[in-house]
Amino acid sequence: MPVTDVKHDLDALTLTITADFAAPVERIWQVYADPRQLEKIWGPASYPATVVDHDLTPGGRVTYYMTGPEGDKHAGYWLVGEVDEPRSFAFQDGFADLDFNPVPDLPLSANVYTFTAHDGGTRATYVSTYASAEALQQVLDMGVVEGATSSLNQIDDLIAA
Amino acid sequence: MAEEDARRVDAMFHALADRTRRDILRRVLAGEHSVSALAVAYDMSFAAVQKHVAVLEKAGLLTKRRNGREQLASGDVAAVRSVASMLAELEQVWRGRIGRIDALIASDPEQKD
């Protein structure tokens, strides 16, 4: 696993993950700039993503939906902020209905992705900030989980029951 | 992340990495169970179940109280849904994405190592 560092800031509700990839910055940028590649990496195998609109420019929108194991669909959108190709981009990630209208009651997360040349490869820094603990919970309740965490979801279902 | 939080998250993941412990946690989140009643549900010794309960307790996912000769365990719903555990859960989502990026670039043609 190329993850080199993880920071959880419980007060700022921020998750910062650093990863080193064995490919140049431009190659990692492509993963996000090409919707076909983005959908390959955004959702886990059990929740594959389909990217519909894709405009990775300031003020642009990226829309996607994820299809769950029961055929359930979960849509989301990015509102793209600052873009400094191929070094960094910022976006708000939010939930949408299946027509890609933003769901106003659901929280947005603020994200900044940064890619720098490092040791012949790329060091990627992913920073995601959530507005509140409730916002965090809603993000997780949307079913964007995999592997080890689906067990936690079963526990959640039980709490909700 | 503070060292203490990191340790807590590690303990939580360790506790939840075992199927029996996840099952125990589901039961005690639904309501208080005595450890002996839990032990009956599994094909293992009372001592082994007690050990699983201790791991969950250490991770802060369940609390135990004594009632006469019984030990009663109940799940801590707040702990399961604490911010730390939620960030840990998101971390896993991210690790998945990063792993997939790694796999994607590894499958590039003319990969020079």
Q: Domain B3-107 is of which CATH architecture?
A: Orthogonal Bundle (1.10)
> CA of B58 to nearest chain A CA: how many angstroms apart?
17
Torsion A37-A84-B97-A63 (CA) sign = negative
Domain with residue A23: its CATH number is 3.30.530.20
CB contact under 8 A, A7 and B100: no
The 10 Å Cβ neighbour count of residue A8 is 23
Sheet of A14-21, strands arranged across:
A3-9, A14-21, A121-130, A109-118, A88-96, A73-84, A61-67, A49-54
Query: How many angstroms away from the CA of A10 is the closest CA of chain B?
Result: 7
Q: What residues does each domain of chain B span?
A: 3-107
Residue-level pLDDT, tens digit, chain B, 113 residues:
467 766 777 788 788 778 889 889 878 877 899 999 999 999 999 999 999 999 999 988 899 999 999 999 998 877 766 766 777 777 888 888 999 999 999 988 865 55
Count: domains in chain A? 1
Are A29 and B84 spatial neighbours (Cβ–Cβ below 8 Å)? no
**Out of A81-85, A101-105, A155-159, least confident range:** A155-159
Question: Furthest-apart CA pair in chain A: how many Å?
Answer: 51
Q: Considering only CA atoms, which of A95, A93, A91, A132 is closest in space to residue A114?
A: A91
The pLDDT value given to residue A142: 55
CA-nearest residue to A125 within chain B is: B98
Q: Does A31 touch chain B (CB under 8 A)?
A: yes
Q: Measured in whole angstroms, how far is the alpha carbon of residue A142 from the centre of its chain? A: 12
| CA atoms of A78 and A54, how far apart (whole Å) | 9
Range of the domain at A118: 3-160
Instruction: Evaluate if residue A157 carries a pLDDT over 60.
Output: no
